[in-house]
């Protein structure tokens, strides 16, 4: 797909049709996601869990994120590419956040960045937007600071915390974010937020009323089985298919069935004779 989608187009689609977003971390999967016409590709810090085998998203840094974001950008001609700012890049030292956001744009050719809500989120968001970089917010369950939220739990289940989420969403809109991810939020609270905002809400575990949806691609393809959150729908169960292919390969190599003549290269008999003793 050609014709690159812009932040303004994403904004203008609110209320017209639902927005689609998936994660990708490498060239082959990003190519397929882009070809399918998905609106936005997030190079998520979920990279830590589903690709690198780490137990927390806080364990990936700029080096890993840029490495994967570059591969995704190379594959994409249509979708908006979003670089997910890792924990170390803005939460540990907020003063480095603009410099790191710029690296996603300049080095990895991303179109914008996403960052999770934390106590200094408004200040950091304001500075990055002031530097001319579009920002997608992320509220609700924010995995980088899940410990402070009582773990990996649905957020906004009582009036007080729900009100806090509504305030955060409105603050992000006021700061100039072009969209906001709502993760693990009751569907009726997501509906209230979606109706209050002019910018699109993108849900993950936040029900059908959001303006768009996002899933981690390894979850929806059945490529990650360590745990599966309730909000994941597996559109495919790839792991057993891959395991079967690997087992077939192993058996055929041992049984000398692979490679067959169709996978081998030949040499003319007269040439062979010249080197045979």
Which residues of this protein are in contact with ligand KIV, per CB under 6 A? Answer: 23, 42, 44-46, 84, 181, 183, 204, 214, 216
Smallest gap from residue 35 Cβ to ligand KIV (A): 21
**Distance between CA atoms of 260 and 95, rounded to whole angstroms?**
60
The nearer residue to ligand KIV, 48 or 268, going by C-beta atoms, is 48
User: Which residue is at the shortest CB distance from ligand KIV?
Assistant: 44
**Distance between CA atoms of 138 and 136, rounded to whole angstroms?**
7
The nearer residue to ligand KIV, 50 or 197, going by C-beta atoms, is 50
Q: Which of 131, 122, 73, 69 is nearest to 99 (CA)?
A: 131
Both tokens of residue 25?
Answer: 């971390």
How would you label 238-277 residue by residue, b for 16+ Cβ within 10 Å and e otherwise?
Answer: eeeeeeeeeeeeeeeeeeeeeeeeeeeeeeeeeeeeeeee
Both tokens of residue 232?
Answer: 């994941």
Tell me which of 64, 116, 173, 183 is the catalytic residue. 183
Smallest gap from residue 217 Cβ to ligand KIV (A): 9
The nearer residue to ligand KIV, 5 or 216, going by C-beta atoms, is 216
The nearer residue to ligand KIV, 186 or 205, going by C-beta atoms, is 205
Smallest gap from residue 114 Cβ to ligand KIV (A): 7
Smallest gap from residue 66 Cβ to ligand KIV (A): 15
Is 183 known to be catalytic? yes
Give the residue numbers marked as catalytic: 183
């Amino acid at each position: 797909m050609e014709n690159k989608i812009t932040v303004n187009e994403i904004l203008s689609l609110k209320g017209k049709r639902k927005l689609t977003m998936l994660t990708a971390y490498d060239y082959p999967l990003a190519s397929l996601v882009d070809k399918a016409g998905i609106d936005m590709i997030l190079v998520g810090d979920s990279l830590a869990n589903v690709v690198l085998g780490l137990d927390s998203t806080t364990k990936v840094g700029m080096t890993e994120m840029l490495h994967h974001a570059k591969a995704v950008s190379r594959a994409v001609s249509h979708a908006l590419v979003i670089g997910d700012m890792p924990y170390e890049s803005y939460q540990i030292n907020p003063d480095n956040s603009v410099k790191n956001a710029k690296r996603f744009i300049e080095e990895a050719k991303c179109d914008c960045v996403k960052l999770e809500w934390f106590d200094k989120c408004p200040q950091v968001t304001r500075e990055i937007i002031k530097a001319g970089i579009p920002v997608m917010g992320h509220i609700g369950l924010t995995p980088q600071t899940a410990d402070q939220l009582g773990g990996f739990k649905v957020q906004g289940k009582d009036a007080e915390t729900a009100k806090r989420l509504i305030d955060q969403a409105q603050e992000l809109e006021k700061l100039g974010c072009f969209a906001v991810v709502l993760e693990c939020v009751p569907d009726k609270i997501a509906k209230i937020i979606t109706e209050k905002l002019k910018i699109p809400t993108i849900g993950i575990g936040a029900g059908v009323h959001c303006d768009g949806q996002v899933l981690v691609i390894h979850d929806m393809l059945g490529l990650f089985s360590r745990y599966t959150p309730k909000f994941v729908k597996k559109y495919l169960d790839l792991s057993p298919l891959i395991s079967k292919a690997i087992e077939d390969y192993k058996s055929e190599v041992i049984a000398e069935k692979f490679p067959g003549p169709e996978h081998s290269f030949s040499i003319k008999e007269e040439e062979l004779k010249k080197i045979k003793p």
